[in-house]
């Protein structure tokens, strides 16, 4: 007997990175090829191009690849991927004209000295003359690997092992790889077509969608991966959207793909984020090109001036005729799962590209849907409440973290920076954290969620990279000074030997393309 209350079919509307990550996770977890399994179908339009939500990822991507059974060798070869160990923030703290001796800092992926069981920041704050004035240099090796263009691992390492790292990738190529994996191995059904209408049941849930190519498509659970258009969660349900453009002021981006001037040009092993007069530029190196963009506030500059800024960054030899201007609607839906519709990706929300949260949020949403999959329709309200609570928390935390980069700046060379450093544009929650951190370092109690997007370590790297002054009382220090000194000495020795321990980034990429990592 068929149970009418069981979830038997999931329909994902929209492809791209969000649609195909979701499809791959659901297909793998639900074992679509097995008899009686939940069927997963994805419908995407050929008329709607993939929006590059960003070519930078989090270390979570390694977990995603392992979970889906995609080898690191295949991934690097198919997506033009390179390694990412950090983000480098240049000109965020001081006016460029000030000629400060070090107007940059790194937010690396590795954990500061001592790991989660020792707060090395306390000792660094007390002993800057001994450890050095720059937090990232004093507690991490990855600033050194990035400055010297070293890879995070050797070709002899196991796949996904090495220093903590993520990737830069071609998002469109990654979606194609996931599509092939989902359809051929996980049994996901792929349809090409455009959704033109939606039919609802008596209780207001979605009963079916209409496609001019495939007619009426029924399902039990619908996943909205339609990007900024939010075809289901927005156009059909109009769930509340919380704008954050009063906090994060950028609202446009100009993007361009730039070929390398020389075939063997060094490929940075980090994202380069350079603050500009009314925003910032990203610079990401893939195997055969750079992805570069200027994120800016149209309230503080003109589109024409933004193009001039990007041209000045790239140099006159770079042709901007192929550049694309993308308006950004920043904010998130406070109800991302409504009835039998779940929004994942840009349909759920968008912060801005700083810190590359877009793809990571897709991964987290797909994993959540898999771990809390509602096999019975009766459990939809429970799963929806948990999903919404979790992701509203995540979005709020991301907004605070990204805003902190702007708010702590000492730049005063443009109204954009004056507005960003005004308390009126900061959230109350960020101001409360910063007030607390005047007298203590960020600690575990400040980040209670099990899967924090940006935990203690990330907040410390940005906080002290922006030269924030935390005043630590000597009585607050646990007597581990000797251990802290020992760790710092070991780090200095590692830095001296690191060029013998790790290959150049370009060299490792070449080895992967030619030989691949060993099958272990």
Question: How many Cβ atoms sit within 10 Å of the Cβ of residue 320?
Answer: 13
Alpha-carbon gap, residue 9 to 6, rounded angstroms: 9
**Sign for the pseudo-dihedral over CA of 465, 471, 476, 477:** positive
Identify the CA nearest to 441 among candidates 404, 470, 477, 483: 470
State how far the alpha carbon of 452 is from the alpha carbons of 350, 395, 457, in Å.
Answer: 17, 11, 11
Report the 3 state secondary structure along 327-362.
ECCCEEECCCEECCEEECHHHCEECCCCCCCHHHHH
Q: Which of 84, 122, 403, 433 is catalytic?
A: 84
Q: Yes or no: say if 355 and 87 are a contact pair by the CB < 8 Å rule.
A: yes
Q: Yes or no: say if 167 and 178 are a contact pair by the CB < 8 Å rule.
A: no
Q: Yes or no: say if 98 and 70 are a contact pair by the CB < 8 Å rule.
A: no
Identify the CA nearest to 364 among candidates 44, 69, 58, 43: 58
Side-chain half-sphere CA neighbours of 285 within 13 A: 24
Element counts in the chain: helices (H) and strands (E): 16, 21
275-306 burial code (b ≥16 CB/10 A, e <16): bbbbbbbbbbbbbeebbbbbbbbbebbeeeeb
Active site residue 84: yes
The DSSP bridge partners found for residue 88 are 106, 272
User: Which residues are tagged catalytic?
Assistant: 84
């Amino acid at each position: 007997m068929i149970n009418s209350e069981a979830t038997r079919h999931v329909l994902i509307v929209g492809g791209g990175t969000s649609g195909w990550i979701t499809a791959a996770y659901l297909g793998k977890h639900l074992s679509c090829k097995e008899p009686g399994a939940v069927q997963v179908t994805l419908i995407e339009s050929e008329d709607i191009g993939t929006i590059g939500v960003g070519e930078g990822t989090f270390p979570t991507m390694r977990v995603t690849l392992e979970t889906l059974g995609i080898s690191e060798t295949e991934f690097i070869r198919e997506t033009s991927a390179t390694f990412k160990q950090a983000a480098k923030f240049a000109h965020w703290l001081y006016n460029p004209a000030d000629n400060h001796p070090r107007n940059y800092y790194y937010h690396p992926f590795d954990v500061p000295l001592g790991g989660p069981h020792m707060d090395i920041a306390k000792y660094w704050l007390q002993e800057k003359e001994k450890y050095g004035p720059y937090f990232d240099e004093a507690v991490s090796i990855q600033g050194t690997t990035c400055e010297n263009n070293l890879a995070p691992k050797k070709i002899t390492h196991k796949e996904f092992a090495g220093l903590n790292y993520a990737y830069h990738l071609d998002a469109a190529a990654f979606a194609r790889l996931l599509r092939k994996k989902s359809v051929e191995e996980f049994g996901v059904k792929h349809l090409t077509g455009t959704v033109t209408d939606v039919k609802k049941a008596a209780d207001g849930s979605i009963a079916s969608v209409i496609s001019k190519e495939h007619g009426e498509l029924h399902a039990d659970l619908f996943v909205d991966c339609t990007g900024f258009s939010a075809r289901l969660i927005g156009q059909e349900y109009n769930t509340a959207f919380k704008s954050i453009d009063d906090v994060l002021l950028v609202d446009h981006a100009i993007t361009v793909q730039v070929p390398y001037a020389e075939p063997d040009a060094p490929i940075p092993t980090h994202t380069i984020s350079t603050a500009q007069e009314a925003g910032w530029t990203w610079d990401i190196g893939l195997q055969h090109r750079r992805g570069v963009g200027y994120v800016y506030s149209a309230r503080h500059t003109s589109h024409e001036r933004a193009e001039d800024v990007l041209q000045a960054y790239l140099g006159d030899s770079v042709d901007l005729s192929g550049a694309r201007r993308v308006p950004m609607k920043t904010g998130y839906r406070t109800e991302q799962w409504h009835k039998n519709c779940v929004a994942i990706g840009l349909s759920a929300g968008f912060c801005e590209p700083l810190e590359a949260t877009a793809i990571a949020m897709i991964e987290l949403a797909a994993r959540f849907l898999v771990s809390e999959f509602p096999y019975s329709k009766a459990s939809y309200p429970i799963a929806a409440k948990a999903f919404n609570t979790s992701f509203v928390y995540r979005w709020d935390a991301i907004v605070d973290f990204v805003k902190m980069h702007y708010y702590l700046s000492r730049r005063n060379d443009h109204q954009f920076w004056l507005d960003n450093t005004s308390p009126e544009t900061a959230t109350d929650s960020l101001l409360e954290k910063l007030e607390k951190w005047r007298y203590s370092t960020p600690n575990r109690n400040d980040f209670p969620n099990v899967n924090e997007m940006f935990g203690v370590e990330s907040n410390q790297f940005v906080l002290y990279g922006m030269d924030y002054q935390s005043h630590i009382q000597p009585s607050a220090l646990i007597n581990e000074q000797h251990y802290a000194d020992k760790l710092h000495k070991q780090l200095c020795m590692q830095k001296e030997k690191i060029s013998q321990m790790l290959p150049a980034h370009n060299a490792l990429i070449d080895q992967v393309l030619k030989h691949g990592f060993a099958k272990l």
